[in-house]
Amino acid sequence: MNKTLLLVAVLSLFGANASAQQYFTKTTPGKYIYKVVDYSPAPGQFVNKLPMFETGDDATKMAQKCTESLANNKGDLVTLGAFGGSIIFHFDHSVANVAGQKDFLIEGNAFEGNSEPGIVMVSKDVNRNGIADDPWYELSGSADRETPNKLVYGYEVTYTASPMQDIPWTDNKGGSGKVERNTYHSQEYYPLWMPAKITYKGTLLPKNAKQDPDTGFWSLSGFNWGYVDNKANSDKEGNSFDIDWAVDQNRKKVKLDFIDFIKVYCAEQQMAGWLGETSTEVKGAEDLHIEESVAAIDKALKEGVATFDDVDVNLSLMAIIWVWKVTMVKLKHRII
């Protein structure tokens, strides 16, 4: 009986701990990107330039270069290349999902007629290891509601390196194409630190590029809401995201009280003539309500279910000892 009660208490503690928000550092929380933990672009005309690849750079180094470009509101651009190319980053704290409000903002470099929409995914650090290896949820955007039959869910593209040539790809729907080179960018378009074959999976948005038959001018029309690099940065609302838009693999709504990691991937697969391939760019991100995020973490800390990453183990041990002591006292006084 005693042992069972204790086991239940400890298990419930781990359960609570597993879903608790956290600080990623002990410094004063900031509202901008703290760290980029993964950068996996698809081929594109700005790849190996934004950020710059140098001989010997590996995936870790490239992610670090992205951090240097984006953290603390630096505001340099990172390109994601064609469909599926992605970036994963986090703030220095978990971002609360405030009811009825958008929770974070992501900037790109879109302007009217030049939208290169990327889809946002969010994740909680469920296993509390500080690494983005937990379940991901997509934030559903306007196209899901407005043109559901024109999206391709579970779309998958494989790119094959082809040095200094157009880069061929095939998809899981029997389609194929090339990320074509152009005269404006003369560097290699395939991410040079990555394997010679890369496969990316996600939701494919309907093509948004159109060429004016008279002028030859290409325009990339914007979607209504819910995508990165889709509206000009001056449109704060149009670049803001609500954690309540999260859906699971079956497109069913998921309720998340906070998130730790954000992923953005390019959701278009098209060549727009001389404009080249459509590729999402990311310029930065911001927690839209840092006070609420911090208050929620502090509350969880007080309740003993949140931890600083670097003292995680110690706090967990302390919490286990605390639960043990409380249980013993309660048993002694026959409270339970």
Residues interacting with Ca ion, by CB under 5 A?
97-98, 101, 103, 109, 116, 125, 127, 129, 131, 133-134, 229, 242-244, 281
C-alpha separations of 230 from 150, 166, 183, 253 in Å:
18, 26, 25, 23
Q: Rounded to the nearest whole angstrom, what is the least distance from the CB of residue 259 to Ca ion in the complex? A: 10
In the bound state with Ca ion, the residue whose beta carbon lies nearer, of 161 and 271, is 271
Question: Hey, CA dihedral for 297, 302, 308, 313, is it positive or negative?
Answer: negative
Cα–Cα distance, 67 to 185 (Å, whole number): 24
Q: From the CB of 110, what's the least distance to Ca ion, in Å?
A: 6
Nearer to Ca ion, 66 or 98 (CB): 98
**Residue 157 to residue 219: CA distance in whole angstroms:** 24
Whole-number Å distance between alpha carbons of 270 and 179? 8
Q: How far is the CB of 6 from Ca ion (least distance, A)?
A: 27
Shortest separation between residue 302's beta carbon and Ca ion, angstroms:
23
95 versus 157: smaller Cβ distance to Ca ion: 95
- Do the bridges between strand 218-220 and strand 176-179 make them parallel or antiparallel, or are there none, so unpaired? unpaired
- Residues with Cβ within 8 Å of 63's Cβ and at least 6 positions away in sequence, in order, are 36, 37, 38, 39
Question: Closest separation between CB of residue 181 and Ca ion, Å?
Answer: 18
Q: Tell me the HSE value of 317 on the side-chain side, using a 13 A CA sphere.
A: 4
Distance in angstroms between the alpha carbons of the first and the last residue of the chain: 10
For Ca ion, give the closer residue by CB, 127 or 176.
127
Q: Are strands 22-23 and 307-308 parallel, antiparallel or unpaired?
A: parallel
Two structure tokens written together for 21: 């928000």
244 or 277: whose CB is closer to Ca ion?
Answer: 244
The nearer residue to Ca ion, 75 or 154, going by C-beta atoms, is 75
The DSSP H or E segment spanning 8 is helix 2-18
Q: Characterize 297-333 residue by residue with b for buried, 16 or more Cβ atoms within 10 angstroms of its Cβ, and e for exposed.
A: beebbeebbbbeeeebeebbeebbeebeeebeeeeee
Q: CB of 9: closest distance to Ca ion in angstroms?
A: 24
- In the complex with Ca ion, which residue's Cβ is closer, 81 or 161? 81
Nearer to Ca ion by Cβ, of 40 and 79: the residue is: 79
For helices 2-18 and 312-332, the axis angle rounded to 10 degrees is 150
CB 244, min distance to Ca ion, A: 5
Name the minimum Å distance from CB 157 to Ca ion: 19
